[in-house]
């Protein structure tokens, strides 16, 4: 765990930290001299502390059910304070007598793959699903303005100009003007052509930071721990 670049931590049955690795400290931007061991989530010097009650509820459920719990955490993580999504799992920890003595925490930066990508990959000649591509929270280039990038994000979900206008509180005409300007910049004439352009240039993996709020999402499908 100590050498891993992924996040690892161990808590006791009272949700007190027993161990955290270097990546965990970097993940939450915790000062090197701060003593985590013996502390609970609400005592950590990090904004994630405000989710302490939710996290500890999941600790108790993990211990009582013996099942793994999966979460998605979206926050300004790491020393660079970047808004990023992390897959975060916790599962019960047992001693040699098969008694639960706490929980193990594991986290890593999330990779994403869309359903259209999945279908396309399965229809390739190799018939193999390629590795998921990482979600981008910064545009791959400065080709488009911030306002255009928001329109692009929704356009790639195949929303109409009217639907995009409702999302961004703009008129249909304004959104249509944005789309025409975007198409000119990309040297395309239609949405299908633009989608191909975005896949080639990496804009299909970009999501504007303003559309992601710091949060924790609990995934209800739980798997039995091994």
Q: What is the 3-state secondary structure (H, E, C) of 102-133?
A: EEEEEEEECEECCHHHHHHHHCCCCCCCCCCE
The separation between the first and the last C-alpha atoms of the chain, rounded to the nearest angstrom, is 18
Q: What is the pLDDT of residue 111?
A: 56
Q: What is the pLDDT of residue 176?
A: 96
Q: What is the pLDDT of residue 175?
A: 95
Q: What is the pLDDT of residue 138?
A: 79
Q: What is the pLDDT of residue 20?
A: 95
Give helix 172-186 / helix 161-168 axis angle, nearest 10°.
110
**3-class DSSP assignment, residue 197:** helix
Rounded to the nearest 10 degrees, how much is the dihedral formed by the CA atoms of 19, 76, 51, 101?
Answer: -20
Q: Tell me the C-alpha distance between 78 and 89, whole Å.
A: 18
pLDDT tens for the chain, residues 1 to 226: 988 989 999 999 999 999 999 989 988 888 888 999 999 999 999 877 888 888 898 899 899 989 888 776 665 555 555 556 677 789 999 999 999 999 999 988 765 444 344 334 434 433 333 444 556 667 889 999 999 999 999 999 889 999 999 989 999 999 999 999 999 999 999 999 999 999 999 898 887 866 655 544 544 444 433 3
């Amino acid at each position: 765990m100590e050498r891993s670049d992924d996040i690892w931590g161990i808590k006791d049955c009272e949700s007190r930290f027993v161990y955290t690795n270097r990546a965990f400290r970097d993940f939450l931007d915790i000062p090197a001299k701060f003593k985590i061991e013996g502390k609970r989530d609400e005592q950590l010097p990090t904004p994630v502390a405000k989710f302490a009650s939710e996290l500890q509820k999941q600790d108790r459920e993990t211990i009582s059910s013996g099942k793994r719990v999966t979460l998605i955490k979206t926050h300004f993580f790491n020393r660079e304070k970047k808004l990023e999504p992390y897959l975060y799992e916790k599962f019960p920890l047992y001693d040699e007598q098969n008694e639960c003595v706490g929980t193990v925490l594991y986290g890593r930066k999330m990779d994403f793959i869309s359903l259209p990508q999945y279908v396309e990959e399965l229809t390739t000649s190799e018939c193999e699903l390629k590795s998921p591509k990482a979600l981008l929270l910064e545009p791959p280039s400065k080709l488009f303005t911030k306002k255009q990038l928001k329109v692009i994000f929704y356009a790639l979900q195949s929303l109409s100009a009217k639907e995009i206008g409702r999302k961004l509180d703009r008129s249909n005409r304004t959104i249509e003007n944005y789309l025409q300007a975007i198409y000119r910049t990309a040297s395309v004439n239609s949405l299908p052509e633009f989608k191909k352009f975005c896949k080639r240039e990496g804009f299909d993996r970009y999501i504007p930071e303003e559309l992601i709020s710091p949060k924790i999402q609990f995934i209800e499908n739980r798997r039995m721990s091994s």
